[in-house]
Amino acid sequence: MSRIGRLPVAVPKGVDIKIADNNTLTVKGQKGTLTKQFHKEMIIKVEGDKILVQRPSDEKKHKALHGLTRTLINNMVIGVTQGYEKALEINGVGYRAQKQGKKLVLTLGYSHPVEMEEPQGITVEVPAPNKIVVKGIDKQAVGEFAAKIRSKREPEVYKGKGIKYENEVMRRKEGKAGGKGKK
């Protein structure tokens, strides 16, 4: 039995769960609604204020899907109740971010500013010129857009310039002169 898969997903008050044909699960809460279709062989049941996920057999494929399905359902429930957010920091002289309507405009040392359109269901905040906060109810969409922003100028290991996650630890390298004088 999967350690994660066998755990029930607690459904808080104010969250509405509907299971339709083809294992399509709709989770509705105060922050919004999420719908996802899961593998047809997985068994998803709602019992009171809990969601249970069971697998039909002990095949390797079913074992893998068991924990995955439960975690995705849990992420949906957390998303519609609390939401998700990722914070990014911009380091470098002249590097900054600003918001223009639904666009995020990044000045990252290129000859032109980098403009990114806010995807549907995602909100981007710029509390300071060197900080970006990506918020939304879908964990995957928030992480994907944050990674897309980071990819515009990934952190550089020698000077530390670029866009990094707020809690990311950068391992800095010594430059060429770092090895001189050592014997």
According to DSSP, residue 69 is labeled H
Domain end, chosen from 82, 115, 135, is at: 82
Domain carrying residue 145 = 84-165
Both 46 and 68 in one domain: the answer is yes
Say what the pLDDT of residue 21 is. 87
Q: Write b or e for each residue in 120-132: b if 16 or more Cβ atoms lie within 10 A of its Cβ, otherwise e.
A: eebebebeeeeeb
Q: Is the dihedral of CA 20, 50, 70, 34 positive or negative?
A: positive
What is the DSSP secondary-structure string of 50-63? Answer: EEEEE-SS--HHHH
Residue 124 lies in a domain: yes
Say what the pLDDT of residue 2 is. 67
Both 112 and 52 in one domain: the answer is no
Say what the pLDDT of residue 18 is. 93
The pLDDT of residue 180 is above 70: no
Both 92 and 78 in one domain: the answer is no
Cα 77 to chain centroid distance, Å, stands at 14
Residue 177 lies in a domain: no
Dist CA 137 CA 36 (whole Å): 13
Residue 66 lies in a domain: yes
Residue 129: pLDDT band by 50, 70, 90 thresholds?
very high
| Mean pLDDT, residues 155-174 taken together | 91
Both 113 and 138 in one domain: the answer is yes
User: Quick check: helix, strand or coil at residue 100?
Assistant: strand
The pLDDT of residue 177 is above 90: no
Return the bridge partners of 148, or none.
none
Domain end, chosen from 18, 49, 82, is at: 82
Dist CA 56 CA 183 (whole Å): 64
pLDDT digits (tens, 9 = 90+) for 84-128: 999 999 999 999 999 999 999 999 999 999 999 999 999 999 999
| Mean pLDDT, residues 19-47 taken together | 93
pLDDT digits (tens, 9 = 90+) for 42-52: 999 999 899 99
Say what the pLDDT of residue 164 is. 95
Both 39 and 22 in one domain: the answer is yes
Count of structural domains within the chain: 2
Residue 182: pLDDT band by 50, 70, 90 thresholds?
low
User: Quick check: helix, strand or coil at residue 177?
Assistant: helix
- The domain spanning residue 102 has which CATH number? 3.90.930.12
Residue 69: pLDDT band by 50, 70, 90 thresholds?
very high
Alpha-helical segments (H) within the chain: 60-81, 139-151
Both 70 and 90 in one domain: the answer is no
Dist CA 12 CA 24 (whole Å): 20
pTM to 2 decimals? 0.89
For 63, the token pair is 């074992």
| Mean pLDDT, residues 166-183 taken together | 78
Residue 179: pLDDT band by 50, 70, 90 thresholds?
low
Residue 172 lies in a domain: no
The pLDDT of residue 24 is above 60: yes
- What percent of the chain shows pLDDT beyond 90? 85
Distances (CA, A) of 72 to 6, 37, 98, 147: 14, 11, 33, 20
Is residue 133 within 8 Å of 84, Cβ to Cβ? Answer: no
